[in-house]
Structure 1
Amino acid sequence: MKKVWFLGLGLSLALVGCSDSGSDEAKKEETTNAKEENANVAGDIMDFYLNLTTTVNGVDIDLNGYEEAVAGEEPPAGEELKKMKEAAAASATESAKAVESMEIPGGLGDHKDAVESFKSTLTESYNMKAEALSKEGETDLTAANEKLNEAENQIKEILDEAGLVSSSLISDLNG
């Protein structure tokens, strides 16, 4: 009888051990799937960000040149300033169009709305710059630059939430 009892106890322990092993495997698989999903989302966010900065840097050259020249020790004046301002306005308009045309990856999950909001804020910033540069007289880009700072804060938060190292949007676009 004792042998049957020990055999029953041994089988019970073996079954408990097997069932725990199965739950450990399931937990490991869930963890692995979650990590892969997070890596895919982070990768999609990083690809979007890198494509965006590369695309904008291809069209905002005149805008960056204007802002740098105006902030310099000897800002341009007269006809030179007028030409730079017109080119900068066109560059800002093209930058807004470039940002607006960027496709947001489909696999962003919870981050999709935040990326759409960021994209909208950045587009608005460039539209504000284009409008300010199109006006006669003194150009004030303060509001547009504040909007750009808002976009930078948005993308930093998105990158942080995705587990990525945050970057300076302003440096990446003006650098």
Structure 2
Amino acid sequence: MKKLLLLGATAALFLGACGEESTTEEKTTASTESTEKAPDAKKELMSFYMSIPQAINAVDADLNAFETAQAKETLPEGDDLATMKEAAIASAKEAGTAVDGIEIPETLADHKADIEGAFASIKESYAMKADELAKEASFEAANAKFVEADEVFNKMLKDQGLAPSSILNEVSN
């Protein structure tokens, strides 16, 4: 009787160990699969993230020239200033439109609503800059609106284990 009890206990331990081993194997397999997908997700996120300032920088040179001259207090006067403002307004409007052309990759579908919200903030920022150029050209509120988009993208970067960045800094140079 004691031998049967001992045999039963041994069998239970053996089966328990086998069960733990298969569970460990399943966890390892699942972990390996997610690790294999993670670099692709990171790579896709970085590629997408870098496409945003590239799209904007392709059309915002006149706006950047105005902002740089304003910061250095070297804005021209008279007709030259009016011409510079008109070009900056057109540049701001194009930059807002350029964001519409950026496609959200399928791998980021889970973040689509956040990304679209960030894009809306960027577009609103450029619309605010265009409006300000017709007045005194104070871009503080517009830049604050753009920072909202940066915060959304930085959260996504951090969630993937990547360093935060600033699209606003990338497009303001």
- With the shorter chain as reference, the TM-score category is 0.7 to 0.9
Counterpart contact for 1:114–1:158, Cα < 8 Å: no
Query: Matched residues in 2 for 1:95 and 1:74: separation?
Result: 24
Moved more, 155-164 or 98-107: 155-164
TM-score (norm 2): 0.85
Quote the sequence identity (%).
38
- Counterpart position of 1:156: 154
Cα RMSD over matched residues? 2.4
Per-residue CA deviation, residues 35-55 of structure 1 (Å, 9 max, x unaligned), is 334433333221111011111
Structure 2 counterpart of 1:63, one-letter code: L
What is the aligned residue count?
A: 173
Give the Å deviation of 1:115: 1.4
- Counterpart position of 2:66: 66
Per-residue CA deviation, residues 94-141 of structure 1 (Å, 9 max, x unaligned), is 1111112111112225322211211111111112212332x2x53232
Counterpart contact for 2:66–2:75, Cα < 8 Å: no
- Counterpart position of 2:101: 101
1:3-42 to structure 2, matched below 5 A, reads 12-42=12-42
Counterpart contact for 2:115–2:153, Cα < 8 Å: yes
- Counterpart position of 2:140: 142
- Structure 1: segments with no counterpart, 5+ residues: none
Counterpart contact for 1:115–1:158, Cα < 8 Å: no
Query: Matched residues in 1 for 2:70 and 2:85: separation?
Result: 10
- Counterpart position of 1:169: 167
